[in-house]
Amino acid sequence: MKILVPIKRVVDPYAKVRPLADGSGIDLTGQNFAINPFDEIAVEEAARIKERDPSTQVTAISIGGPEVEDQLRKALAMGADESILVESTAEWDSPSVADELAAYLKDNPTDVVIMGKQATDDDNNQVGQMLAAKLGWPQATFASKIELKPGEAVVTRETDTGEETLSLPLPAVITVDLRLNEPRYIALPGIIKARSKPLNKVAPKTSPRLRTCMTGVESPPSRQAGKRVGSVDELLAELKGRGVLNG
């Protein structure tokens, strides 16, 4: 069984961010970076699958510059067998990332792609679905449970109305949700062992063709002070006065 786990380097999701003065982006001065939390859950799930079946081969892949090596090394420390850095300093949007991953997979056959449902920086929730469409593979999104069998993946996914269980023929693309697992704490032996695992650097197979762009970044408006009301009637009157309710 071969598993590919795409990961993305993002600003620490628990950090406070602020826009640049000109609104052209986020001020990254002094910020810490991490594996996108949903991708970290995907790495953890792949590592658990490997623990149950040692013949499993887990590869982590990411696009970016040398700064992404730290996140790929963490994936190795969590249990990935090898990592791939697609070296590029260009800007990549969701369709471009899907193009590059599809090109990689066409040259490197894989049984299943397990990846985060979205990244915490742009929240697009697009790459997994686009990748499956480009490859013509079945997909299951928002997975809260994954069971891999010979030639088949059984995935329990979360929906707005409850849970849904799907059976997918392999190869397939699976995107994961928060409730799938809790990533492990990485002990020192795992960090040391990761240093001997391969981190391969390759050139992109495609060139990013941006179909989306960011027009500007601004801080959300300050939260207004609340108002205490003494009755339901007063609450309804206040909501109607603010245009929240009609009638």
Q: How much is the average pLDDT of 214-230? A: 86
Of 69, 97, 64, residue with least CA distance to 194: 69
Domain boundaries, the chain: 2-217
Q: How many CA atoms lie within 13 A of 16 on its CB side?
A: 2
Terminal alpha carbon distance of the chain: 60
pLDDT in tens, 130-153: 999 999 999 999 999 999 999 999
Q: How many CA atoms lie within 13 A of 40 on its CB side?
A: 20
Q: How much is the average pLDDT of 204-214? A: 90
Residue 2 clears pLDDT 70, i.e. is over it: yes
Residue 247 clears pLDDT 80, i.e. is over it: no
Q: How much is the average pLDDT of 102-129? A: 95
Q: Which fold has domain 2-217?
A: Rossmann fold (3.40.50)
pLDDT in tens, 44-86: 999 999 999 999 999 999 999 999 999 999 999 999 999 999 9
Strand ranges in 126-215 using DSSP code E only, listed in sequence order: 139-149, 152-159, 162-169, 172-176, 199-202
Sign of CA dihedral 207, 208, 211, 213: negative
